[in-house]
Amino acid sequence: MRIGVIGVGHGRFGRRSDATVQELAFEAYRLALEDAAIEPDAIDASVVAAVPEYHKQRSVAGVVQEYLNLNPRPTWLTEVACASGSAAIRTAWMAIASGLHEVVLVVGCQKMTELETAEILALMGRVGEVQWESVFGTTFPSYYAMFANRHMHLYGTTRDNLLEVAVKNHHYGALNPKAMFRKEITLDKARASDSVASPLCVYDCCANADGAACLVLAAEHRVNNRDRVVWLDGVGAASSSMSVLRRPDLVGLPSAEEAAAQAYRQARVTAAEVRVAEVHDCFTIAEIMAYEDLGFCAKGQGGAYINERRSYIGGEVAVNVDGGLKAKGHPIGATGVSMATEIVTQLRGDAGERQAPGADIGLTHNVGGIGQYSFVHLFRRD
């Protein structure tokens, strides 16, 4: 049986002091229902993605389910740090493929800006290994700075290559009305930004945000519009050690390579066939490693890949043409679902100014923590 995406909805990402987490969820849900052209009664269950510890309101699945008026249908939450949204999508896929449910709503939602940046950094540090690593002061920027330094050392990747990722993603983010930062940046401006963790500077880092996105997944026989459905044909997932010190190297994420291999195999697709991709650019180096881990280019060639604009529309794979985490913002529970909404929109040809022409196969690459979790999903328009 194939599982199809029949509806997508995406709220505005950014500092959303105007809305609670359940209100953010509702904003995306309403759009997804309308897009799917179904009534709420058609929904059998919901899977909610969020990292609860950033919210004053815990039990996020419960508060969202009530606010969407979906009681007494089952709901549950998946959490794998920044990949929570993709874990929810994969779980919904399983719920349908198992025959237990036929139409499942996926809600990715997150409020982060209730907390100060320092509090968020401290909480995120605890998403690293606490006993042996974060206790010594590692934070997410410092982990990714190590990845960047090693990549630069081994492969000659330059600081400009990193920032070229930011320039691309801001370029496309400016075209996305739901993005947090809708402004182009120049390489000069990026170069001049303050250092965060050398070599990463402000423009290498995505921003904490609030926001929500929704998908409606349906069993093949419940797909109501064959002209608009996008099939979710591959749901790959893998893990790597929390301890970065136990990794074989620091220039890629083994979990992402493995998840990609699974998804390509399941969907019977090769990397060369992917036309549009959303990859997890929490830091610019992460997008460069993603090009390599996903097989878009060979190991060590990621710097050249962005430099030669092969990940722009018109290149080999249009990557993060919604702005990516960098320009769109990264409300961690929502991100994986947001990625999927963009791929569906692209494959339908509905992406307007940022449309990648002729895209029929799309991919999402969503990483949790510092690569202890990766999810790679493949979408296809028949």
Residues with catalytic function:
82, 330
Strands 195-197 and 230-239: unpaired
The answer to whether residues 375 and 90 touch, using CB atoms and an 8 Å cutoff, is yes
Which helix (DSSP H) or strand (DSSP E) does residue 254 occupy?
helix 254-267
**Residue number, 125 or 362, with CB nearest to a second copy:** 125
Q: Which stretch binds a second copy (CB under 8 A): 6-14, 84-92, 113-121, 294-302?
A: 84-92
* Residue 372 found at the interface with a second copy (CB under 8 A): yes
Least Å distance, CB 260 to a second copy, is: 12
| SS3 sequence of 9-60 | EECCCECCCCCCHHHHHHHHHHHHHHHHCCCHHHCCEEEEECCHHHCCCCCH
For residue 119 the two structure tokens come to 């509090």
Close Cβ partners of 103 (under 8 Å, ≥ 6 residues apart):
6, 38, 42, 43, 44, 96, 216, 217, 218, 219, 222
* 130 lines the binding site for a second copy (CB under 8 A): yes
193-201, 217-225, 268-276, 366-374 -> range binding a second copy (CB under 8 A): 366-374
Residue closer to a second copy (CB basis): 79 or 278: 79
Alpha-carbon distance values, 67 to 105, 217, 263, 296, 341 (Å): 14, 20, 34, 41, 22
The structure tokens 């990483």 sit at: 367
Q: Are 222 and 345 in contact (CB under 8 A)?
A: no
295 binds a second copy (CB under 8 A): no
Among 250, 369, 378, 380, binds a second copy (CB under 8 A): 369
Stretch of residues binding a second copy (CB under 8 A), selected from 95-103, 161-169, 308-316, 349-357 = 95-103
**Angle (CA) 290 324 327, round 5°:** 135
The residue written with tokens 């939602």 in the block is: 109
2, 52, 149, 315: which one contacts a second copy (CB under 8 A)?
A: 52
Query: 3-class DSSP state for residue 182?
Result: coil
Residue numbers 110-129 binding a second copy by CB under 8 A: 123, 126-129
Stretch that binds a second copy, among 59-67, 137-145, 203-211, 292-300 (CB under 8 A): 59-67
Taking contact as CB under 8 A, which single stretch among the options 11-19, 47-55, 217-225, 312-320 is the one that binds a second copy?
47-55
Figure out which of the listed residues 99, 137, 314, 358 binds a second copy, where binding follows CB under 8 A.
99
User: Using CB under 8 A, which of 8, 19, 33, 95 touches a second copy?
Assistant: 95
Q: Would you count residue 17 as binding a second copy (CB under 8 A)?
A: no
If binding is defined by CB under 8 A, does position 72 make contact with a second copy?
Answer: yes
Q: What are phi and psi of 86, to 5 degrees?
A: -75, -35
What are the residues facing 170 on neighbouring strands?
none
Q: Which amino acid is at 151?
A: H
Among positions 227-286, residues that touch a second copy (CB under 8 A) are 235, 237-243, 246, 254-255, 258-259
What are the structure tokens assigned to 308, written together? Answer: 């030669």
Closest approach, Cβ 252 to a second copy, in A, equals: 13
Q: Shortest approach of a second copy to residue 311 CB, angstroms?
A: 26
Which residues are near a second copy by CB under 8 A?
Answer: 20, 45, 51-53, 56-59, 61-63, 65-66, 70-81, 87, 90-91, 93-100, 123, 126-131, 235, 237-243, 246, 254-255, 258-259, 368-369, 372-373
